[in-house]
Structure 1
Amino acid sequence: MTVVIETGSWQLDPARSTVAIAHRTMWGLVTVKGAFGSVTGQGETRPDGTAHGVVSVDTATLDTRNAKRDAHLRGSDFFDTENHPTLTFAVDGAAVPQGDTAEIVGRLTVRGVGGPQTVTARVTASSDDAIGLAMEFTVDREQFGMVWNQLGMIRGLTTVTATLTFARAVVRDADLLAP
């Protein structure tokens, strides 16, 4: 199946989008899972099939269903939400979908530290009015300065799972008149 992505400006629909993380801890015996409660974003798809945009996550909204752990993850050992309230994935370009997948090249910034990140996204919806993407990728938290690891309990990579739905951005008449 070949997916056709309509060109134009797109706005992330936060009600239909999720970003979650999972990390094996306790020497690989327990998987800690959490979801961010606030995600925003926008983008543009161009006639040549490329896409550019940004998705931002409010780090203070991480919920692992354990208040003490959430406070620790929001603190300076991990996300340091006081100094770095958002993490972002800025899309530098996305290739034309091959079948129902597209390779997205971007820059992930966490705690003010950015690094390249390539993600393969599966296109779950594509119409004149909406684009749906689903992706799963891994991140080395130490790359972003998250090195806390009491007794060696936290090893390996963090898995990020995102389901993002973008709606066509509404163009207002005032936007058309702007120089």
Structure 2
Amino acid sequence: MPHPFDCITEFIFAETPLEPADIILVPGGSVPELMEQAAALYHRGMAPYILPSGGANPKLQMTEWEFLRRIGIELGVPERAILREDRAKHTFQNAEFSWETLRQHGLRPNKAILCCKAFHARRALLSYRTVFPADVTFLVFPVIDKRNISRETWFRDGKGIELVMREVEKIGAYFGRHIPNWVR
């Protein structure tokens, strides 16, 4: 049965079919499920590199990058396959600094898998699309963390509603100024 908020669900919870890519991008976070899923994709041969991104986080005793890197190594991802971006303070910087890191390594992906929290997928996708060259194809792999916030569950409790509606607000704040550049 349709709900009045179905359009929000379709907008926020971006997802695409997966296929092999040049890189797996992980836009920060303090939840292990992000790197667990990125490592699983790596082991399936979906990309030769993982680039977790994220600086200091008050929830962690280290940068988000270090937290995610440690999980990847524990799961058997070789250190050489994990690139480093440990300065970003928010999603847009995850994209900016990740692009900078790729350029420094002489990497120019044609296709990238974006491994991000399910309710964060649209904002992450828009951030990376805004920063990366227009011809890069993004494949979105949404991760459901221990909070179990997904397209099927977000509207069932106050915390899910709060997180998703905050994403709607942040998208407006992040991208309103970019829209004129997108139509040129």
TM-score, with length taken from structure 1: 0.27
Greater Rg over alpha carbons, structure = 1
Indicate the structure with greater helix content.
2
TM-score, with length taken from structure 2: 0.26
Indicate the structure with greater strand content.
1
